[in-house]
């Protein structure tokens, strides 16, 4: 922890020297221009320049909850298998041999949650575009760094149990489906009005697009490639992915220890 605290102190000193406060960020000094379409709707982006709007405010438990489970950018909504990893890290706190590893992983996760919950909360109407990332970008992009630390928790489960394996595969399948759907319509989401009602619940918006228009490959669709060719490509990629999953799940030959818990 001491090296981390030392780095944090250096960062605070840099912000103090560059911006006049350890809690200020470059966003404080950005000149915000409100586009005419937004101004006609009564929006004023200059509000971000007031107070600590784009700096660090007090941590918000409500924002932390929304970053975990909210419909806008809830991490466990976009990747529910990571919730199993979180549970595994909590379970690992009781294991003497691995306690420090799981404690560190949980500390990293908590640090990211706390830090992001301090962004933009001074302006409630716009704050989510800071702590959650822009609405036109898929998922809670500021939390992507915690994914491997949450995934480490998966090692704590007894993968010899069929119920544990089925639960993990089901959550992994849902996680993959959610993010593949987001990839399929990433260009559509990027071109959607950022402050519109559609992107208050991006997952529901993309689901409606998928149901109404079917699956697509964005790059091929933009260049007018026929839907049949796109479907064939998606089927081929799905087949390769399933084959790789099957190969990775196959147990190695030879004797296995009674304590082996690999999936």
Q: If you write DSSP's letter for every residue of 169-193 in order, what string do you get? A: HHHHHHHHHHHHHHHHTHHHHHTS-
Rounded mean pLDDT of the chain?
84
The pLDDT assigned to 33 comes to 66
The string of pLDDT tens digits covering residues 49-79 is 555 445 567 889 999 999 999 999 999 999 9
The pLDDT assigned to 50 comes to 56
Residue 251, SS3 per DSSP:
coil
Phi then psi for residue 119, to 5 deg, are: -95, 125
**Rounded average pLDDT over 37-51:** 61
Percentage, residues of the chain above pLDDT 70: 82
Q: Which pTM value belongs to this model? A: 0.76
Residue owning tokens 């082996």: 260
Taking a C-beta distance cutoff of 8 angstroms, is the pair 203, 77 a contact?
yes
What is the C-alpha separation between 158 and 162, in angstroms, rounded? Answer: 9
**Rounded average pLDDT over 210-222:** 88
Short-list 139, 133, 130, 128, CA closest to 206: 139
């Amino acid at each position: 922890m001491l090296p981390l605290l030392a780095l944090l102190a250096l960062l605070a000193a840099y912000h103090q020297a560059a911006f006049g406060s350890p809690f200020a960020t470059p966003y404080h000094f950005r000149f915000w221009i409100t586009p005419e379409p937004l101004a006609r709707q009564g929006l004023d982006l200059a509000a971000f320049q007031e107070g600590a709007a784009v700096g660090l405010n007090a941590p918000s438990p409500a924002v932390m909850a929304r970053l975990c489970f909210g419909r806008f950018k809830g991490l466990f909504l976009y990747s529910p298998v990571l919730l199993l990893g979180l549970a595994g890290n909590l379970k690992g706190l009781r294991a003497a041999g691995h306690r420090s590893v799981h404690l560190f992983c949980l500390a990293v996760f908590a640090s990211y949650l706390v830090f992001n919950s301090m962004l933009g909360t001074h302006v409630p109407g716009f704050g989510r575009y800071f702590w959650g990332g822009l609405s036109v970008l898929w998922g809670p992009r500021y939390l992507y760094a915690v994914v491997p630390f949450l995934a480490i928790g998966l090692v704590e489960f007894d993968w010899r149990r069929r119920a544990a394996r089925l639960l993990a595969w089901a959550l992994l399948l849902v996680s993959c489906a959610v993010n593949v759907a987001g990839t399929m319509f990433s260009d559509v989401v990027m071109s959607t009005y950022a402050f519109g009602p559609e992107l208050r619940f991006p997952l529901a918006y993309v689901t409606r697009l998928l149901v109404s228009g079917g699956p697509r490959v964005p790059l091929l669709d933009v260049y007018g490639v026929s839907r049949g060719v796109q479907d064939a490509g998606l089927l081929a990629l799905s087949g390769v992915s399933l084959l790789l999953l099957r190969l990775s799940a196959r147990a190695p030959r030879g004797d296995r220890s009674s304590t082996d818990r690999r999936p």
